[in-house]
Amino acid sequence: MSANHRNAAFNDRESAAYTLAEAARYLRLPAATLRSWVLGRQYPTAKGSGQFPPLIRPASRRPPLLSFANLIEAHVLRALRTEHGVPVKALRGALAYAEKSLGIPRLLLRPELRAEAGRLFLDRYGELIELSASGQLAMRRLFEEHLQRVEWDASKFPVRLYPFLSAVAPSEARPIVIDPRIAFGRPVVVRKAIATSTIAERIDAGETVAALAADYDLGPSEIEQAILYERAA
């Protein structure tokens, strides 16, 4: 890959592209949770209040906008929130420990999360929140499920995210993809790169699943999965 192509790909991943509301919906996260990760949040103290610094550095703070890389970071953090909530102080401590020890910047973006760096990070986090042995096993399983939905390129940059269809009942199915090089980084059906929002809009306008399947050369189940993804907020 030429230097120009590498730079263009990097810019695609780091460009401000998603509002907090969009990103929260795409990732099946409560908007308030994502906002606290990106902008920090206040907490009460004996002298009034303090401020937790953010866990994710957004592509833009004013207005707050996330990049595709930020989306990956939030997706990985979601794995920890799913079962345990995210004690922000403990999580920041675990990230700082792993990144300082291994010298890996922005650890949440790296494929090394699936190897030793990820083990050290999870070990430290588990210690800081005093997680039981069974809790640690469950956390590792959820973490791996989330990492399996990220694709990295040869340069170790994330290039694709396969979001969960539903926050209520995540499955192994990966019919939807978010790729910063396709449809301006909006979710699309994997096989034909049709925006899920377009499918939902046409269904809402009165068209049938069968008609859209024929129009886009997709299976009815793919149309239904796109609708589920769009509507299962």
pLDDT tens profile 16-43: 999 999 999 999 999 999 999 999 887 7
Asked if pLDDT for residue 6 goes beyond 70, the answer is: no
pLDDT of residue 58: 96
Average pLDDT over residues 188-214: 98
| Residue 206 covered by a domain | no
Q: Ranked by mean pLDDT, which of 35-39, 85-89, 137-141, 202-206 comes out on top?
A: 202-206
| Residue 93 covered by a domain | yes
Q: Residue 107 corresponds to which tokens in the numbers above?
A: 């650890």
Contact at 8 Å (CB) between 149 and 114? no
**Domain residues for 42?**
3-160
Q: Quote the CA–CA distance of 98 and 38 in Å, as a whole number.
A: 20
Domain count, the chain: 1
Determine how many CB atoms are found less than 10 A away from the CB of residue 179. Answer: 19
| Residue 42 covered by a domain | yes
Contact at 8 Å (CB) between 210 and 199? no
Q: What is the pLDDT of residues 94-120, one digit of tens each?
A: 999 988 988 888 999 999 999 999 999
pLDDT of residue 169: 57
| Residue 211 covered by a domain | no
| Residue 27 covered by a domain | yes
Contact at 8 Å (CB) between 158 and 68? yes
Asked if pLDDT for residue 50 goes beyond 80, the answer is: no
pLDDT, the chain, mean: 89
| Residue 124 covered by a domain | yes
| Residue 140 covered by a domain | yes
Closest CA to 22 of 171, 184, 143: 184
| Residue 232 covered by a domain | no
